[in-house]
Copies of this chain bind each other. A is one copy, B any other.
Amino acid sequence: MKAVRIGICGLGTVGSGTFNVLRDNADVIAARAQAPLVVSVVGARRDNPLCDLSGTRVSRDIFEVAKDPDVDILVELIGGTTVAKELIETAILNGKHVVTANKALIAEFGNEIFALAAKHGVTVRYEAAVAGGIPIIKALREGLAGNRIEWLAGIINGTGNFILSEMHDHGREFSEVLAEAQALGYAEADPTFDVEGIDAAHKLVILASLAFGIPLQFESVYTEGISKLTPQDMDYAEELGYRIKHLGVAVQSDAGIELRVHPTLIPKDRLLANVNGVKNAVLVEGSAVGPTLYYGAGAGAAPTASAVVADLVDLARDFSAGQKNRVPALSFVNKALQDLPIVPMSDVVTPWYLRMEAEDKPGVLSQVARILSEQGISIEALIQKAPAAGAIRVPVIVLTNRAPQGKMDEAVRQIEALDSINSSISCIRVEMLDG
């Protein structure tokens, strides 16, 4: 069997992980791929002490790897969306297949990269771009190919889930846990990407395209972070029978596609509510199969390498079988992709959790209930706590039935205008996740 020749660009966490998995598991990988997978060349600015590069050709110029005649597949693991894009384009123009773990690049430039790849008859694979080692792209693109996907919801940022799990389990404040996550290396020095939901939005866009057959459209995702959540919210949610998770949610309805990343209350007996720490999980509702869930490590050297190598084995199996482009890049053939409308957030309907501080006097709650009712919103559950010693305001927590965000925004504006209520109501969506 002819060896499949790989050029790895980038030797950071995932690059070194991929190099080592290919070496450590070479025997089982070759047995499955029907051919040995050989790293012909590594492109990296510097060596990584985690990799034994003896016997491996190393180039300090990654663009040389993209043109290397001894490379069949270029593995892009340098990250970012500028040089990485240029690198992948160079590889495609030189007839190389590409495997990447770069979620930002696929989410923002995937349409044009896939078009270029199709034009040049090569394949771009990106299993590692979403949820690390969980084979969720393969599940959506192949395993569930007989279904209309109705919705999906995922915990697709491990850093955020670690923070929320710690806040929930130990009653700790967001800022304190964030600092610890940074010290542990789970969170970047600038945590915006993770805690404001941008990273999750990149992944959600990819999942939604695969699920619904729509072009990638990062700019369409509504994104709301977790930095305003408090351990008190976690406690109140628990009291009501819910946990708070930072979810990416994509829904197909008659009105179009919903694409949103936000904190979400989910019933605590759902599996997704019990996915803790840095782990990821994606719940997918298919028209035939019903709900299926995929769980595992969403980041880290070896788990992400697992997904990169799965793509490499897939391509190697394609080569052995003498074929290419077996599976469309976004699951659906290009001409079947539909640019469906994105539902504006004001029209997105969910139940709601509200937390406010109210003066502990008669009539306040009836004013709140009246304002909600005028917007067509009814109250499902209500918790009013005893005032803290010396406090004149008490926490009031309201769980409503399903209402569009537009109506809820108007109700919240009016409630915040009441003298007896504080002027910053905490307002979190609820998803029942029942298929």
By a CB distance below 8 angstroms, the chain B residues around A300 are 290
- Contact for A143 among B33, B135, B312, CB less than 8 A: B135
By a CB distance below 8 angstroms, the chain B residues around A286 are 133, 306
Q: Is A139 a contact of B142 with CB atoms below 8 Å?
A: no
How far does the Cβ of A303 sit from chain B's closest Cβ, in whole Å?
Answer: 5
By a CB distance below 8 angstroms, the chain B residues around A293 are 281, 293-296
Q: How far is the CA of A324 from the CA of B322 in the complex (A)?
A: 8
Interface of A is mostly: mixed
- Interface stretch, picked from A40-48, A269-277, A398-406, is A269-277
Q: How far is the CA of A310 from the CA of B143 in the complex (A)?
A: 5
Q: Is A325 a contact of B321 with CB atoms below 8 Å?
A: yes
- Contact for A288 among B148, B275, B303, B327, CB less than 8 A: B303
How far does the Cβ of A145 sit from chain B's closest Cβ, in whole Å?
Answer: 4
By a CB distance below 8 angstroms, the chain B residues around A302 are 287-290
By beta carbon, the residue of chain B nearest A316 is B145
Q: Is B323 a contact of A309 with CB atoms below 8 Å?
A: no
Q: Which residues of chain A in 291-309 are interfacial with respect to chain B, using CB atoms and an 8 Å cutoff?
A: 291-297, 300, 302-303, 305-309
Judge whether A333 is part of the interface by a CB distance below 8 angstroms: yes
By a CB distance below 8 angstroms, the chain B residues around A317 are 326-327
Judge whether A388 is part of the interface by a CB distance below 8 angstroms: no
Judge whether A313 is part of the interface by a CB distance below 8 angstroms: yes
Q: How far is the CA of A289 from the CA of B127 in the complex (A)?
A: 13
Q: How far is the CA of A156 from the CA of B346 in the complex (A)?
A: 43
By a CB distance below 8 angstroms, the chain B residues around A17 are 288
Judge whether A157 is part of the interface by a CB distance below 8 angstroms: no
Judge whether A320 is part of the interface by a CB distance below 8 angstroms: yes
Judge whether A336 is part of the interface by a CB distance below 8 angstroms: yes
Judge whether A389 is part of the interface by a CB distance below 8 angstroms: no
How far does the Cβ of A245 sit from chain B's closest Cβ, in whole Å?
Answer: 14
Q: Is A148 a contact of B296 with CB atoms below 8 Å?
A: no
Q: Contacts A292-B296, A321-B324 known; A305 to B146 CB distance under 8 Å?
A: yes
- Interface stretch, picked from A24-32, A171-179, A232-240, is A24-32
Q: Contacts A309-B145, A323-B326 known; A289 to B32 CB distance under 8 Å?
A: no
Judge whether A109 is part of the interface by a CB distance below 8 angstroms: no
By a CB distance below 8 angstroms, the chain B residues around A367 are none
Q: Is B143 a contact of A31 with CB atoms below 8 Å?
A: no
Judge whether A69 is part of the interface by a CB distance below 8 angstroms: no
Judge whether A314 is part of the interface by a CB distance below 8 angstroms: yes
Judge whether A264 is part of the interface by a CB distance below 8 angstroms: no
Judge whether A328 is part of the interface by a CB distance below 8 angstroms: yes
Q: How far is the CA of A332 from the CA of B35 in the complex (A)?
A: 11
Q: Is A31 a contact of B142 with CB atoms below 8 Å?
A: no
Judge whether A213 is part of the interface by a CB distance below 8 angstroms: yes
Q: How far is the CA of A295 from the CA of B25 in the complex (A)?
A: 27
By a CB distance below 8 angstroms, the chain B residues around A141 are 32
Q: Contacts A142-B135, A302-B288 known; A323 to B318 CB distance under 8 Å?
A: yes
Q: Is B32 a contact of A328 with CB atoms below 8 Å?
A: yes
By a CB distance below 8 angstroms, the chain B residues around A192 are none
Q: Contacts A213-B28, A295-B295 known; A326 to B321 CB distance under 8 Å?
A: yes
Against B, the Cβ 8 Å flags (1 = close, 0 = not) of A120-148 are 00000001000011110011011111111
**With A145-B314, A146-B305, A291-B296 given, can you name 15 additional A-B contacts, CB distance below 8 Å?**
A17-B288, A25-B288, A132-B289, A134-B289, A142-B313, A143-B310, A145-B309, A271-B275, A281-B293, A288-B306, A289-B307, A290-B296, A290-B300, A322-B322, A326-B326
Q: 11 interchain pairs (CB within 8 A)?
A: A28-B147, A135-B139, A145-B313, A271-B274, A288-B302, A288-B305, A289-B302, A317-B326, A320-B326, A321-B321, A322-B322
A residues touching B (Cβ–Cβ < 8 Å)? 17, 21-22, 24-25, 28-34, 127, 132-135, 138-139, 141-148, 213, 269, 271, 274-275, 281, 286-297, 300, 302-303, 305-310, 312-314, 317-318, 320-328, 331-333, 336
Please name the 3 residue pairs, one residue from A and one from B, whose CB atoms are nearest each other, closest first: A135-B143, A146-B309, A31-B336
